[in-house]
Amino acid sequence: MIENNINPDQLDQDQFENSFKTGTTTVGIIVNDGVVVATESKATGGYFIASKQAQKLFEINKFTAATIAGGVADAIYVINQLKALSRLREVKEGKIPEPKYVSSICRNILFSGRSFFQVLMIISGFSLAENTGKLYGVDLLGTYYEEDKFISFGSGSPFVLGLLEADWKPGMTIPEGVNLVTTAITAAKERDAGSGFALQICSIDKNGFKKLS
């Protein structure tokens, strides 16, 4: 969790760095048939374990999921907005919005707040238009970028990214991807005090969102 006590009107470098005292690990990887996304379930408040069953992985629509790292209240607000706006778009257009649309909406919400929402999010999914998996990262300032291999946020991300740099390969299958993110999250749980307990994993391919654990 992020400590939500900064003044967004007086955000300096020290405040920005201090705001990232997250206690979580989130990860998404590209695989041959789509994406695999994972996180763990520990929620912390400082040194206190607030929950062992915190939900950090959310289905936005049939082809898009999101993970959260940061302030829980802020994150849930943004998640609910993304679900509602995705559904409205689906009703209006008659088709499920692409992951890029959802990630753009997320970026607009966080950019308009400019550090008001203390959250970092991975938006991932399968693009029917491009027939491929998609990974996007959005931070609390609205910084937006697309990754073509993998992405990780949270206090456990240094452990995850080191492992992914060594072991991620193009053309991995979904089962191979599940094994890789399981190993990555487990490594973070072993060495990061802010990460722990149950794994939350999903895959998204041309058939849609599938919860795996």
| Domain containing residue 105: CATH number | 3.60.20.10
Q: Is residue 139 part of a domain?
A: yes
Give the pLDDT score at 213: 82
Q: Is residue 91 part of a domain?
A: yes
Q: Is residue 149 part of a domain?
A: yes
DSSP character string of 43-55:
EEETTEEEESS--
Work out whether strand 119-127 and strand 150-153 pair parallel, antiparallel, or are unpaired.
unpaired
Calculate the dihedral angle through the C-alpha atoms of 177, 135, 43, 60, rounding to the nearest 10 degrees. Answer: -110
Bridge partner residues of 61 (DSSP): 64
Q: Is residue 2 part of a domain?
A: no
Q: Is residue 176 part of a domain?
A: yes
What contacts 24+ positions apart, CB below 8 Å, involve 44-48? 44/1, 44/194, 45/1, 46/3
CA distances from 199 to 14, 94, 103 (A): 32, 34, 24
Q: Are 120 and 139 in contact (CB under 8 A)?
A: yes
Query: Distance from first CA to last CA of the chain, Å, rounded?
Result: 22
* Total domains present in the chain: 1
Q: Is residue 44 part of a domain?
A: yes
Residue 180 CA to residue 161 CA, distance in Å, equals 11
Per-residue pLDDT tens digits for 95-144: 999 999 999 999 999 999 987 899 999 999 999 999 999 999 999 999 99
Q: Which residues neighbour 175 within 8 Å (Cβ) at sequence distance 6 or greater?
A: none
Annotated catalytic residue within 24, 26, 39, 67: 24
Q: Is residue 34 part of a domain?
A: yes
Active-site residue flag, 24: yes
- Structural domain span for residue 207: 8-211
Among 37, 68, 48, 2, smallest CA distance to 185 is for: 37
Among 86, 165, 74, smallest CA distance to 123 is for: 86
Give the pLDDT score at 45: 82
Instruction: Give the predicted TM-score (pTM) of the model.
Output: 0.90
What does each of the 213 residues of the chain score in pLDDT, given as a tens digit?
A: 444 455 555 555 554 555 555 689 999 999 999 999 999 999 988 788 999 999 999 999 999 999 999 999 999 999 999 999 999 999 999 999 999 999 999 999 999 998 789 999 999 999 999 999 999 999 999 999 999 999 999 999 999 999 999 999 999 999 999 999 999 999 999 999 999 999 999 999 999 999 998
Q: Is residue 160 part of a domain?
A: yes
